[in-house]
Amino acid sequence: MAEFTMELNDDQKQVRDWIHGFAADVIRPAAAEWDEREETPWPVIQEAAKVGIYSLDFYAQQFFDPTGLGIPMAMEELFWGDAGIALSIVGTGLAAIGVVANGTEEQIGTWIPQMYGTPDDVKVAAFCSSEPDAGSDVGAMRTRAVYDQAKDEWVLNGTKTWATNGGIANVHIVVAVVDPELGTKGHASFIVPPGTPGLTQGQKFKKHGIRASHTAEVVLEDVRVPGSCLLGGKDKLDERLARARERAAAGGGERVKNAAMATFEASRPAVGAMAVGTARAAYEVALDYAKTRTQFGRPIIDNQGVAFQLADMRTQIDAARLLVWRASWMAVAGKPFTSAEGSMSKLYASEVAKKVTAQAVQILGGNGYTREYPVERMHRDSAIYTIFEGTSEIQRLVIARTLSGMPIR
């Protein structure tokens, strides 16, 4: 277990500078165009694949960094470039992680390569969990998976929403209910191979921000997948369901629920790092602008009203990064989030991103309100951080419940 440190080692610095260079040279010049087009930036994803950033190997190397700082460092630099394009690059990772975390070795070896494709023929994958009536309340999920024993197939029916890459993905990972009586413990994940009949794209959302990232509904109508597409396999699922039923009968349901919450906690610092990247980008634009923009015969940074805002912005960004790094290190070190440190990092960083980008717009004044300057786009992009991967209200609920031990509603 690595000791916690705020100093990146030489290898980490080299990787950081490499990603930063790609973000500066490839992502940023394309950001405004793909935001306006509201389309998946396939050429940029292909460039990321050619240099090795869009690949499972890259994310695996960062994920297994013993300090825990590989993923947050990579996310911050990519999202510093542009949030929409960066999400298009990293969106497949969520589906891939779902397979790596829950799948068999055979499933991992078979499906992960198909999620990414090749540098000459890039593919994307989608993780489909949220539903029209089941966002924060995952227990309200309605998509059902029924096992057809005669054919050794699972039949999926339902509608997923807010799916990154939904409908355009080569491979979809779909979370569905297999035992409604067990609540969230009765869920399972399924691989839907490319070209499977019955899976179609529903509404594509026209979004306020992160517009270069494709977000859509995924409709499943009698979608049949082989038994081998159940992540982890049926034997493992049957064992897990049996344990859940035993615990529920023994009155241990709440303990199981808390254990599941700990899993979600561990993924939230990465989103916090994305928010830090966007906030840092907006701060840097505002700082440079304040040094060069003159009013009343002097740079506007000479005015306390502007300088103090920048001081607060930088302080909040650094504080957010420290919370993200702490939670990331705790996760890789196996330390329990006894105070919901994962949710703390995501909550604070996402709120900072919204605040800092708004202040950047204010510092640039009328220019900040136009699309001629990137802070307008960054401000729109920042709104997503307080919504996805658990809203700020849900983060506060998780933190309050963890601190108090009470079922706060």
What sign does the dihedral 242-184-139-399 (CA atoms) show? positive
Sign of CA dihedral 300, 289, 35, 114: negative
Nearest to 201 by CA among 173, 175, 163, 230: 163
Which residues are designated catalytic?
389
Cβ(221)–Cβ(205) under 8 Å? Answer: no
Q: 2: which residues sit within 8 A by CB, 6+ positions away?
A: 66, 67, 68, 329, 332, 333
Measured distance CA(141)–CA(240) in Å, rounded: 19
Query: Which tokens hold the place of 404?
Result: 């108090």
| Closest among 224, 250, 278 to 86, alpha carbons compared | 278
Closest CA relative to residue 214, chosen from 202, 222, 206: 206
The tokens of 309 are what? 């805002």
Calculate helix-pair angle for 253-292, 375-382, nearest 10 degrees.
170
Distance in angstroms (rounded) separating the CA atoms of residues 203 and 389: 21
Q: Give CA–CA dist 354/364, Å, rounded.
A: 16
Nearest to 75 by CA among 328, 271, 214, 213: 271
Q: Are 262 and 269 in contact (CB under 8 A)?
A: no
Q: Which residues of 125-157 are buried (b: 16+ CB within 10 A; e: fewer)?
A: bbbbbbbeebbeebeebebebeeeeeeebbbbb
